[in-house]
């Protein structure tokens, strides 16, 4: 068991990057519900796509050689023997000087080797006049042109985005093997917390926000989240809850209980687990310095600060893309823009600060303003448009300095 000292933001990010996938179990699911899942086995097509020769245009399927010499002033006459719409099975094969109407996507009659577009034809009852010669192969989509039978169409590890699902659907595949979603257990700790079922709040109590907001934020990364409830700051209750959480899930996220106050049992509790590696205990950031990251065998525990604003900031900065990587979901692009600071901003020396900011526009120029409520206020999160990073050794950012704003 080792306790690391408070570490820097970049060190923590490196530790998280070094963790690879947690889940290797597979499940077979319908492609209707496979969006954004990760394929766990190479998938081969059992058919050619298309599996029949088809027309790329509305026109007449012909024996190309029959059209040679056709021009606007030298119409060639072919006998129309059949009309083939998309979905029809051609009933007749072409003999010399015969043709069949084919709609776009329709199957071609045997013996045909070219299609003359409707624009270059004129129909007179059972006769079609051709005004343009075609070479063999014109406007024909050959068997397997798009996908060949036996070809690997989707590789193990691929993300099932819409285009990839389209490939499966077009090959007639209705189920696919994917990795199971990582399971996350979420716990809110704190004697002060009550859920929204409680009608009349006692003095000292507050409504738990993390069970709803943090839960949804975690869910949005593609993992399964199970909220295990509000746990009292009491050794036995917390131990029981964490044991259940470790049993049930791959990742355990607790909120609350990481600071130095007397009521904080999280760190004490973790120390007692055998095989635990506490990799991070405290990160030099504000808000939310207290953050713990530990591994027990192949399971992972995070303890986040209790204030919803701090918990959610920590989540976005460190855990969001980590969980997306673990579940295979597309990472969140951090959308950022450089702007000037509109009012002096203060920061604490010795902490890397993620300062919530508001963007205000005057005379068409957007500027950065600090939000003055602290991390204890839920409204801080509500009014913030994004955050700026303030380095450990900076204490003041003067009006007019340019900073990069990361938007939420």
Site for a copy of itself in 206-235 (CB under 8 A): 206-209, 211-213, 215-217, 233
Q: Is 156 in a helix, a strand, or coil?
A: coil
Q: Select the residue interacting with a copy of itself from 3, 52, 68, 346 (CB under 8 A).
A: 52
Distance of CA 7 to the CA centre of its chain: 29
If one asks whether residue 164 binds a copy of itself (CB under 8 A), the answer comes out as: yes
Residue entry with tokens 């490939």: 167
Q: What whole-number distance in Å separates Cα of residue 181 and Cα of residue 145?
A: 35
List of residues 6+ apart from 126 with CB closer than 8 A = 79, 80
If one asks whether residue 364 binds a copy of itself (CB under 8 A), the answer comes out as: no
Distance of CA 215 to the CA centre of its chain: 17
Q: Assess whether the previous peptide bond of 98 is cis (omega < 30° from 0).
A: no
If one asks whether residue 367 binds a copy of itself (CB under 8 A), the answer comes out as: no
If one asks whether residue 162 binds a copy of itself (CB under 8 A), the answer comes out as: yes
Burial class (CB in 10 A: 0-12, 13-18, 19+), 132: middle
If one asks whether residue 254 binds a copy of itself (CB under 8 A), the answer comes out as: no
Which stretch in 62-70, 123-131, 321-329, 371-379 sits in contact with a copy of itself by CB under 8 A? 371-379
379-408 mask for a copy of itself (x: CB under 8 A)? Answer: x-xx-x-----------------------x
If one asks whether residue 165 binds a copy of itself (CB under 8 A), the answer comes out as: yes
If one asks whether residue 125 binds a copy of itself (CB under 8 A), the answer comes out as: no
Q: Which is nearer to a copy of itself, 11 or 192 (CB)?
A: 192
Q: Comparing C-alpha atoms, which of 305, 297, 393, 397 is closest to residue 352? A: 393
Q: In angstroms, give the least distance from the CB of 296 to a copy of itself.
A: 27
DSSP string of 224-250, one letter each residue: EEEEEEEE-S-HHHHHHHHHHHHHH-S
Q: Is 311 in a helix, a strand, or coil?
A: helix
Q: Select the residue interacting with a copy of itself from 13, 44, 51, 132 (CB under 8 A).
A: 51
Angle at 321 between CA 318 and CA 327, to 5 degrees: 130
309-328 mask for a copy of itself (x: CB under 8 A)? Answer: ---x----------------
If one asks whether residue 346 binds a copy of itself (CB under 8 A), the answer comes out as: no
If one asks whether residue 192 binds a copy of itself (CB under 8 A), the answer comes out as: yes
Which stretch in 120-128, 139-147, 176-184, 323-331 sits in contact with a copy of itself by CB under 8 A? 139-147
């Amino acid at each position: 068991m080792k306790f690391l000292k408070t570490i820097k933001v970049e060190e923590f990010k490196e530790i998280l990057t070094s963790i690879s996938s947690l889940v290797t179990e597979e499940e077979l699911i319908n492609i209707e519900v496979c969006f954004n899942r990760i394929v766990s086995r190479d998938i081969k097509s059992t058919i050619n796509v298309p599996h029949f020769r088809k027309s790329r245009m509305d026109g007449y399927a012909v024996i190309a050689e029959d059209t040679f010499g056709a021009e606007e002033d030298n119409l060639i006459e072919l006998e129309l023997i059949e009309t083939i719409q998309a979905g029809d099975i051609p009933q007749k094969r072409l003999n010399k000087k015969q043709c069949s109407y084919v709609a776009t996507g329709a199957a071609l009659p045997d013996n045909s080797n070219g299609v003359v577009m409707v624009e270059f034809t004129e129909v007179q009852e059972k006769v079609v006049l051709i005004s343009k010669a075609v070479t063999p192969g014109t406007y024909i989509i050959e068997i397997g042109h798009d996908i060949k039978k036996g070809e690997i169409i989707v590789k193990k590890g691929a993300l099932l985005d819409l285009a990839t699902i389209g490939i499966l659907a077009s090959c007639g595949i209705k189920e696919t093997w994917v990795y199971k979603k990582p399971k996350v257990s979420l716990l809110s700790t704190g004697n002060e917390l009550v859920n929204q079922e409680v009608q009349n709040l006692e003095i000292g109590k507050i409504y738990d926000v993390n069970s709803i907001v943090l839960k949804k934020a975690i869910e949005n990364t593609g993992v399964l989240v199970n909220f295990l409830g509000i746990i009292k700051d009491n050794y036995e209750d917390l131990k029981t809850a964490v044991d259940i959480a470790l049993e049930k899930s791959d990742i355990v996220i607790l909120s609350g209980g990481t600071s130095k106050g007397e009521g904080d049992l999280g760190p004490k509790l973790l120390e007692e687990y055998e095989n635990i590696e506490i990799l991070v205990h405290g990160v030099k950031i504000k808000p939310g310095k207290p953050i713990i990251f530990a591994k027990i065998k192949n399971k992972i525990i995070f303890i986040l600060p209790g204030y919803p604003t701090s918990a959610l900031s920590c989540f976005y900065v460190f855990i969001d893309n980590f969980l997306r990587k673990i579940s295979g979901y597309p990472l969140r692009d951090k959308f950022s823009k450089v702007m000037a600071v509109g009012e002096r901003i203060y920061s604490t020396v010795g902490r890397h600060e993620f300062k919530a900011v508001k963007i205000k526009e005057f005379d068409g120029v957007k500027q950065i303003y600090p939000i003055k409520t602290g991390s204890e206020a839920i409204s801080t999160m509500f009014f913030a448009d994004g955050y700026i990073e303030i380095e450990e050794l900076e204490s003041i950012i003067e009006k007019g300095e340019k900073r990069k704003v990361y938007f939420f």
